[in-house]
Amino acid sequence: MSKKQIFTLEYPVRCSPSILYEFLSTPAGLQEWFADKVDERDNVFSFSWNGTTDRAEVTESESEKYIRFHWMDAPVEEFFEFRIEKSEVTNQTILIIKDFAGSKVEIKDQSQLWSYQVKDLFHRLGN
């Protein structure tokens, strides 16, 4: 059993779910904001940063709704997920990110990293 706990981040985004999903689920889209280089083969994505490559398998997805990845070297119950929802009140698109971290400090650090990366995503989307 993993000692890590799940945490969730939410970001309102001015973009259609279909365009946002492309940035979250395709190698070209993910390479725009998530990693330096992204390749995909047989539902396994290779993410490269500064010469280091990590592989993640897509375990679940639904077009324009969500995509869930599992790092190949992580415990089976851990994942990271991008989910797209619409606010019923404002009709605004919401990007929800779920990830795992081991401590409050690690959650804070991971949250800051996600915020930095999402800021880059928003820049690419023209937000």
From residue 65, alpha-carbon distances to 55, 68, 73, 87, 93 in Å are 22, 10, 26, 13, 11
Per-residue model confidence as pLDDT tens for the chain (127 residues)? 458 999 999 999 999 999 999 999 999 999 999 999 999 999 999 999 999 999 999 999 999 999 999 999 999 999 999 999 998 888 899 999 999 999 999 999 999 999 999 999 999 998 8
Among 126, 89, 111, 87, CA closest to 8 = 111
What confidence score (pLDDT) does residue 60 get? 97
What confidence score (pLDDT) does residue 127 get? 84
What confidence score (pLDDT) does residue 91 get? 86
Rounded Cα distance between 45 and 57, Å, is 6
What confidence score (pLDDT) does residue 124 get? 93
What confidence score (pLDDT) does residue 87 get? 87
Q: What is the CATH number of domain 5-125?
A: 3.30.530.20
What confidence score (pLDDT) does residue 83 get? 98
pTM of the model: 0.93
